[in-house]
Amino acid sequence: DAGVTQSPTHLIKTRGQQVTLRCSPKSGHDTVSWYQQALGQGPQFIFQYYEEEERQRGNFPDRFSGHQYPNYSSELNVNALLLGDSALYLCASSALRPDKETQYFGPGTRLLVL
Partner 1 sequence: AQSVTQPDIHITVSEGASLELRCNYSYGATPYLFWYVQSPGQGLQLLLKYFSGDTLVQGIKGFEAEFKRSQSSFNLRKPSVHWSDAAEYFCAVAAYSGAGSYQLTFGKGTKLSVIP
Interface residues with partner 1 (CB under 8 A) are 4, 6, 31, 33, 35, 40-45, 48, 50, 55-56, 58, 90, 92, 94, 96, 100-108, 110
**Toward partner 1, which CB reaches closer, 9 or 15?**
9
C-beta of 5: minimal distance to partner 1 in Å?
A: 10
Integer Cα distance of 33 and 57 in angstroms: 9
**Toward partner 1, which CB reaches closer, 10 or 15?**
10
C-beta of 104: minimal distance to partner 1 in Å?
A: 7
Report the candidate in 105, 109, 106, 90 with the shortest Cα–Cα distance to residue 47: 90
C-beta of 63: minimal distance to partner 1 in Å?
A: 20
* Three-state helix/strand/coil letters over 48-84: EEECCEEEEECCCCCCEEEEECCCCCEEEEECCCCHH
